[in-house]
Amino acid sequence: MRRTLPNLRKLVGSHLAIDTQTISLAPETDYWLDVDAFTDVFSTSVGPKAMMTMPLEELATKTKLYQGEFLQGFYVPALPEFEQWVLMEREHLRALAIRALVVLADRYRQVGDVDSGLATTRRLLELEPWYEAAHQQQMLLLARSGRRGAALAQYRTYCALMANEFGAEPSLEMRSYYERIKAGELDIMD
């Protein structure tokens, strides 16, 4: 730390507040953090209702603040407490991102923007490959855009994933979506 702190001070100067126990960003300095911006928008106090009334473009832009795992690739040797904190932050931010993307995908579905909805559900599935609600949204969007075969293939992909990863079958609701898509009942946008 004796060698690291002087280098850190050279890089960020007065933006740091350092004492014997902590190093943090000085609250009186002017800075912008993507993590702060993201959590301010999607914290649990905001909730899905506020996200449903937020302008769609604003919601889409703000979900892009989540760029992947918090401090990905950053490691501090011999500090298990720090690693535990990083893991908890990663999971918290990831959960916020998933919640926001679910709302965004639903909003796109409601306005009939199939391509944006599909892109959003793909992003959701990259974060959480076994997330059933994302597979359902993907199936609905595909079916309602006239791609029934792709919607049914999405269901089969989900079934294989659940069987291989968890030895489980899809929920009754998921099977119902599959049957309704197969029968052509969900081919028209609301």
Does pLDDT of 3 surpass 90? Answer: no
pLDDT per position as a tens digit, 110-133? 999 999 999 999 999 999 999 999
* Secondary structure element (H or E) that encloses residue 62, with its range: helix 56-63
Q: Of 29 and 43, which is predicted with more confidence?
A: 29
- Tell me how far apart the alpha carbons of residues 121 and 107 are, in angstroms, rounded to a whole number: 12
- pTM attached to this predicted model: 0.79
Per-residue pLDDT band for 28 (boundaries 50, 70, 90) equals: confident
Distances (CA, A) of 164 to 124, 130, 157: 20, 11, 11
Does pLDDT of 56 surpass 80? Answer: yes
Per-residue pLDDT band for 33 (boundaries 50, 70, 90) equals: confident
Tokens (6 digits) for 121: 């559900």
- Tell me how far apart the alpha carbons of residues 173 and 63 are, in angstroms, rounded to a whole number: 27
CB atoms within 10 A of CB 3: 7
pLDDT per position as a tens digit, 131-185? 999 999 999 999 989 999 999 999 999 999 999 999 999 999 999 999 999 998 8
Q: Are 59 and 100 in contact (CB under 8 A)?
A: yes
The predicted pLDDT at position 190 comes to: 44
Q: Of 8 and 110, which is predicted with more confidence?
A: 110
Q: Of 180 and 9, which is predicted with more confidence?
A: 180
- What value does the mean pLDDT take over residues 79-87? 88
Tokens (6 digits) for 63: 């979900």
Q: Are 85 and 108 in contact (CB under 8 A)?
A: no
- Tell me how far apart the alpha carbons of residues 98 and 42 are, in angstroms, rounded to a whole number: 10
- Domains in the chain: boundaries: 1-31, 32-124, 129-190
